[in-house]
Amino acid sequence: MTQTSIGLLVFFMSTTVSAQTANFDTDAVNVAPVGWACGVTGSGSPRWSVVADASAPSKPNVLKQSGSGTFPWCVKSGSAIADGFVEVKFKPISGNEDQAGGLVWRWKDGDNYYVARANALENNVSLYYTERGSRKTLKYVDAPVAAGTWHTLRVEFAGTRIGVSLDGKRYIELDDKHISGPGAVGVWTKADSVTAFDDFVYGTARP
């Protein structure tokens, strides 16, 4: 176990985490969910909407991005977390340029936030920070990401420490200080990715 993972483990063992869940099952279909703000970093026409999906981990509904844009995002309004975690189940459905499912945290606005994503076309997990609308790569790691299958992506963050896990396995552990303080949490895609999301869970860590 690395120094970073030990630090994150100790942090979460020594704090109380207040968690909230969104599964979209009581939201109206064919529109964006109530209490979420959706948009795009860059340009494009993303379409975020709640739809029925028979394969949903928690039935009947999921949140689906079916448009396209540079980096479409949809964040939970009113969320403001500095240290904690965010997790989602996602299913890459299609996309010629990309088949990505991602999480954002410490989201200040559409141009400034952290993002971790898994990509079914590239079979990898990656971590970035976005600053003034420009996405900067922190790390890429090869990982199996099957298309048409539900996966679980999770990020834990405390101070400068960040850990990214896919399907229960930790792939990225590092320290980064580009974005600090509280920010919103949400989900993210790239380009023409058509992606479904369900069971979005986030929590604030408190000493």
pLDDT of residue 132: 95
pLDDT band at 190 (very low <50, low <70, confident <90, very high): very high
**pLDDT, mean over the chain:** 93
- Within 10 Å of residue 39's Cβ, how many Cβ atoms? 15
CB 63 within 8 A of CB 50: yes
pLDDT at 2: 53
Residue 90 identity: F
3-state secondary structure of 48: strand
Q: Are 103 and 185 in contact (CB under 8 A)?
A: yes
127-181 pLDDT per residue, tens = 999 999 999 999 999 999 999 999 999 999 999 999 999 999 999 999 999 999 9
What integer pLDDT is reported at residue 45 of this predicted model?
A: 96
Give the global pTM: 0.91
CATH code of residue 155 = 2.60.120.560
N-to-C CA span, the chain: 23
Mean pLDDT (whole number) for 93-112? 97
Question: What is the domain extent for residue 200?
Answer: 3-206
Overall number of domains in the chain: 1
Q: In what order do the strands lie in the sheet with 184-188?
A: 36-45, 68-76, 184-188, 100-109, 112-119, 124-131, 134-142
Residue with tokens 């850990």: 163
Task: State yes or no: pLDDT of 1 exceeds 70.
Answer: no
Read off φ and ψ for residue 81, nearest 5 degrees.
-125, 130
Max Cα distance, the chain (Å): 45
Q: Looking at residue 13, what is its pLDDT? A: 45
Mean of pLDDT values over 4-15: 49
